[in-house]
Structure 1
Amino acid sequence: MDAGEAENEEVMVSNEQSSEDSSDSDDSDLVEDVSLEDMAAISKLETDLEANPNLYDVNLQYITVLRKNKMRARLKEARRSMQERFPLGEKLWLDWLEDECAEKRKDVEAILELFELAVKDYLSVQLWMQYLQFMGDQAASADFNKESLEAFRDVAERALTAGGIHLAAGAEIWKTYRGFEEKLAAEGLDGDKQVQRARSLFHRQLQVPLVGNSEVFVEYQHWEDAQKDSQGLPAHVQKGYEKAQAAVKLRQAHEDAVASDKEANADLLAAYMAYINLEEAHGDPGRVTVLYERAVAVFPVTHYLWLQYARYLETHIKLPVAIKSVYERAVRNCPWVGALWARGLWALERGGLSDEEHAAFHARALQAGLQSPEDYLEVQLARIDCLRRKGQAAYAKTKEAFEAAQELLSVYFPDWVDRSLQLTAYRADCALRLGDGIEEARAVWNAALKTAAGRYAETWAGFITMEKAEQNMHEARVLYKRAIGRKLEENGQAVLCEAWVRFEREHGNPEEQLHAELKCEPILAAAASAAAAAANEQAAAAAQAAAEKAPKLSPEEMKRLRQERDPNFKGRKDSAKAEADAAAMPPPPPPSRMPPKRKKGLGYQELPSAKRHKSQDVTGTDAATAPSGSADESTAPVAKADAQAVPMEVSFASAGAQDVKSINDSGETMAATSASPQETQVNGGEGPSGPSGRPSAAEQQFYKDNCTAFLKNLPFKTEEEQVEKFFADCGGTKAVRLLRGPDGRAKGLAYVEFPDKDSLEKAVAKNGVEFQGRMLSIEVSRPPPADKAPRGGGGRGFRGGRAPGRGEYAGGRGEGGRGRGDGAFAGRGAPRGRGWGDRGGRGMGIRDDRVVGPTPSKLPPYHAKIVDLSGEGGQRLRRQAEKNGDTAPKSNADFRAMFLPRNVQKE
Structure 2
Amino acid sequence: MTTMMDDDTELVSSSDQKMDDASTENPTVPQADPPSSDDSGDSDSDSDDDAVSNQQIETLESDLSSNPYNYDAYVQYIKLLRKTANLEKLRQAREAMSAIFPLSPSLWLEWARDEASLASSENVSDIVMLYERGLSDYQSVSLWCDYLNFMLESDPSVHGYTSDGISKMRSLFERAIPAAGVHVTEGNRIWEGYKAFEEGVLAAIVEADVEEKNKQIQRIRSIFHRHLSVPLKNLSSTLSTYKAWELEQGIDLDIGSDDLNKVSPQVAAANKKAQQMYSERAHLEEHISNKDLSDTEKFQEFMNYIKFEKTSGDPNRVQAIYERAVAEYPVSSDLWIDYTVYLDKTLKVGKAITHAYSRATRSCPWTEDLWARYLLALERGSAPEKEIYAVFEKSLQCTFSSFEEYLDLYLTRVDGLRRRMLSAKISETLDYSLIRETFQQASDYLMPHMQNTDSLLHLHAYWANLELSIGKDLAGARGVWDSFLKKSGGMLAAWYAYIDMEVHLGHVKEARSLYRRCYTRKFDGTGSEDICKGWLRFEREHGDLEDFDIAFQKVMPRLEELQLIRLQQESTPAKPPAGLKEHNSQKSTREKRKAEQNVEDESLAKRQKTKGRKVNEVDVGQSATVPNIKSENGKAADANKEEIEDAKPVKPKIYTDECTAFLSNLSVKVEEEDIRKFFGDVGGVDSIRILHHKDTGKPRGLAYVDFMNDEHLAAAIAKNRRMFFGKKISIARSNPKKGKKEFTRRGNDGSGNSKEPSQIPEKAKGETVGEKQGDEVQLKGKNTFAVPRNVKPLGYTNPKPSADGNVKPLGYQNPKPSADGNVKPLGYTNPKPSADEPAKSNDDVKPLGYTNPKPSADEPAKSNDEFRNMFLKK
Normalising by the smaller structure, the TM-score range is 0.5 to 0.7
The residue matched to 1:35 in structure 2 has which SS?
helix
What displacement does 1:432 show?
0.7
Seen in structure 2, the aligned counterparts of structure 1 residues 472 and 531 have a Cα distance that, compared at 3 Å, is: farther
1:165 aligned residue:
182
2:94 pairs with 1:79:
yes
Query: What does residue range 456-475 of structure 1 map to in structure 2 within 5 Å?
Result: 456-475=491-510
Distance (whole Å) between structure 2 residues aligned to residue 361 and residue 220 of structure 1: 50
Gaps of 5+ in 1: 26-30, 538-554, 560-907
What displacement does 1:86 show?
1.0
1:257 aligned residue:
287
2:395 pairs with 1:354:
no
1:390 aligned residue:
421
Q: Work out whether residues 135 and 151 of structure 1, in 8 Å CA contact, stay in contact via their aligned partners in 2.
A: no
What displacement does 1:524 show?
11
Query: What does residue range 357-506 of structure 1 map to in structure 2 within 5 Å?
Result: 357-388=387-418, 389-390=420-421, 394-410=431-447, 413=449, 417=453, 419-451=455-487, 453-480=488-515, 482-493=517-528, 496=531
The residue matched to 1:390 in structure 2 has which SS?
helix
Select the residue among 130, 146, 151 that pairs with 2:168: 151
The residue type equivalent to 1:82 in the other structure is: M
Distance (whole Å) between structure 1 residues aligned to residue 559 and residue 459 of structure 2: 31
The residue type equivalent to 1:462 in the other structure is: A
The residue type equivalent to 1:295 in the other structure is: A
What displacement does 1:10 show?
8.7
The residue matched to 2:432 in structure 1 has which SS?
helix
Select the residue among 74, 81, 102 that pairs with 2:117: 102
Deviations 1:413-456 (A, max 9, x none): 376845352321121112112334323211211111111x3222
Q: Work out whether residues 139 and 149 of structure 1, in 8 Å CA contact, stay in contact via their aligned partners in 2.
A: no
2:702 aligned residue:
none
Q: Work out whether residues 139 and 152 of structure 1, in 8 Å CA contact, stay in contact via their aligned partners in 2.
A: no
Deviations 1:230-260 (A, max 9, x none): 6852212222222222222333333333237
Seen in structure 2, the aligned counterparts of structure 1 residues 148 and 38 have a Cα distance that, compared at 3 Å, is: same
Distance (whole Å) between structure 2 residues aligned to residue 497 and residue 407 of structure 1: 31
The residue type equivalent to 1:153 in the other structure is: R
Distance (whole Å) between structure 1 residues aligned to residue 152 and residue 405 of structure 2: 47
2:93 pairs with 1:57:
no
2:345 pairs with 1:308:
no
What displacement does 1:97 show?
1.8
The residue type equivalent to 2:465 in the other structure is: D
Select the residue among 310, 330, 351 that pairs with 1:280: 310
Distance (whole Å) between structure 2 residues aligned to residue 221 and residue 210 of structure 1: 18
2:224 pairs with 1:202:
yes
What displacement does 1:485 show?
2.5
Q: Work out whether residues 499 and 514 of structure 2, in 8 Å CA contact, stay in contact via their aligned partners in 1.
A: yes
Q: Work out whether residues 456 and 490 of structure 1, in 8 Å CA contact, stay in contact via their aligned partners in 2.
A: no
What displacement does 1:364 show?
1.8
The residue matched to 2:150 in structure 1 has which SS?
helix
Distance (whole Å) between structure 2 residues aligned to residue 184 and residue 393 of structure 1: 54
The residue type equivalent to 1:97 in the other structure is: A
Seen in structure 2, the aligned counterparts of structure 1 residues 204 and 529 have a Cα distance that, compared at 3 Å, is: farther
Deviations 1:729-769 (A, max 9, x none): xxxxxxxxxxxxxxxxxxxxxxxxxxxxxxxxxxxxxxxxx
Distance (whole Å) between structure 2 residues aligned to residue 18 and residue 211 of structure 1: 29
The residue type equivalent to 1:321 in the other structure is: K
The residue type equivalent to 1:166 in the other structure is: H
Two-structure CA RMSD over aligned residues (Å): 4.2
What displacement does 1:88 show?
0.5
The residue type equivalent to 2:273 in the other structure is: K
Seen in structure 2, the aligned counterparts of structure 1 residues 361 and 4 have a Cα distance that, compared at 3 Å, is: same
> Which shows bigger deviation, 429-438 or 59-68?
429-438
2:198 aligned residue:
181
Q: Work out whether residues 345 and 358 of structure 1, in 8 Å CA contact, stay in contact via their aligned partners in 2.
A: yes
Seen in structure 2, the aligned counterparts of structure 1 residues 327 and 8 have a Cα distance that, compared at 3 Å, is: closer
- Tell which structure's C-alpha radius of gyration is larger: 1
Deviations 1:99-119 (A, max 9, x none): 122221432111101000111
The residue type equivalent to 1:425 in the other structure is: A
1:43 aligned residue:
58
Seen in structure 2, the aligned counterparts of structure 1 residues 393 and 63 have a Cα distance that, compared at 3 Å, is: closer
2:676 aligned residue:
none
The residue type equivalent to 2:225 in the other structure is: H
What displacement does 1:335 show?
1.5
Distance (whole Å) between structure 2 residues aligned to residue 280 and residue 532 of structure 1: 67
What displacement does 1:376 show?
2.1
What displacement does 1:132 show?
1.5
The residue type equivalent to 2:385 in the other structure is: D
Query: What does residue range 728-747 of structure 1 map to in structure 2 within 5 Å?
Result: none
Deviations 1:767-826 (A, max 9, x none): xxxxxxxxxxxxxxxxxxxxxxxxxxxxxxxxxxxxxxxxxxxxxxxxxxxxxxxxxxxx
Seen in structure 2, the aligned counterparts of structure 1 residues 282 and 305 have a Cα distance that, compared at 3 Å, is: same
Q: Work out whether residues 138 and 148 of structure 1, in 8 Å CA contact, stay in contact via their aligned partners in 2.
A: no
Select the residue among 145, 153, 156 that pairs with 1:137: 153
What displacement does 1:120 show?
0.9
Q: Work out whether residues 171 and 210 of structure 1, in 8 Å CA contact, stay in contact via their aligned partners in 2.
A: yes
Seen in structure 2, the aligned counterparts of structure 1 residues 260 and 292 have a Cα distance that, compared at 3 Å, is: farther
Q: Work out whether residues 164 and 173 of structure 1, in 8 Å CA contact, stay in contact via their aligned partners in 2.
A: yes
Seen in structure 2, the aligned counterparts of structure 1 residues 325 and 165 have a Cα distance that, compared at 3 Å, is: same
Distance (whole Å) between structure 1 residues aligned to residue 280 and residue 71 of structure 2: 40
Seen in structure 2, the aligned counterparts of structure 1 residues 461 and 269 have a Cα distance that, compared at 3 Å, is: farther
Distance (whole Å) between structure 1 residues aligned to residue 284 and residue 572 of structure 2: 59
The residue type equivalent to 1:195 in the other structure is: I
2:244 pairs with 1:222:
yes
What displacement does 1:178 show?
2.2
Identity of aligned residues (%): 35
Distance (whole Å) between structure 2 residues aligned to residue 267 and residue 532 of structure 1: 62
Distance (whole Å) between structure 1 residues aligned to residue 246 and residue 119 of structure 2: 41
The residue type equivalent to 1:259 in the other structure is: S
Distance (whole Å) between structure 1 residues aligned to residue 7 and residue 412 of structure 2: 52
Seen in structure 2, the aligned counterparts of structure 1 residues 221 and 524 have a Cα distance that, compared at 3 Å, is: farther
Seen in structure 2, the aligned counterparts of structure 1 residues 21 and 83 have a Cα distance that, compared at 3 Å, is: closer
Distance (whole Å) between structure 2 residues aligned to residue 301 and residue 34 of structure 1: 34
Seen in structure 2, the aligned counterparts of structure 1 residues 202 and 473 have a Cα distance that, compared at 3 Å, is: farther
Deviations 1:551-578 (A, max 9, x none): xxxx9xx99xxxxxxxxxxxxxxxxxxx
What displacement does 1:229 show?
5.1
2:640 aligned residue:
none
The residue type equivalent to 1:85 in the other structure is: I
Q: Work out whether residues 349 and 386 of structure 1, in 8 Å CA contact, stay in contact via their aligned partners in 2.
A: yes
2:815 aligned residue:
none
The residue matched to 2:483 in structure 1 has which SS?
helix
Relative to the length of structure 1, the TM-score reads: 0.53
Gaps of 5+ in 2: 21-25, 35-45, 207-211, 254-261, 423-428, 574-596, 602-874
Distance (whole Å) between structure 2 residues aligned to residue 245 and residue 127 of structure 1: 27
1:116 aligned residue:
132
2:377 pairs with 1:340:
no
Relative to the length of structure 2, the TM-score reads: 0.54
Q: Work out whether residues 27 and 114 of structure 2, in 8 Å CA contact, stay in contact via their aligned partners in 1.
A: no
What displacement does 1:468 show?
3.5
Deviations 1:691-717 (A, max 9, x none): xxxxxxxxxxxxxxxxxxxxxxxxxxx
2:358 aligned residue:
328
Distance (whole Å) between structure 2 residues aligned to residue 536 and residue 240 of structure 1: 88
Distance (whole Å) between structure 2 residues aligned to residue 33 and residue 111 of structure 1: 35
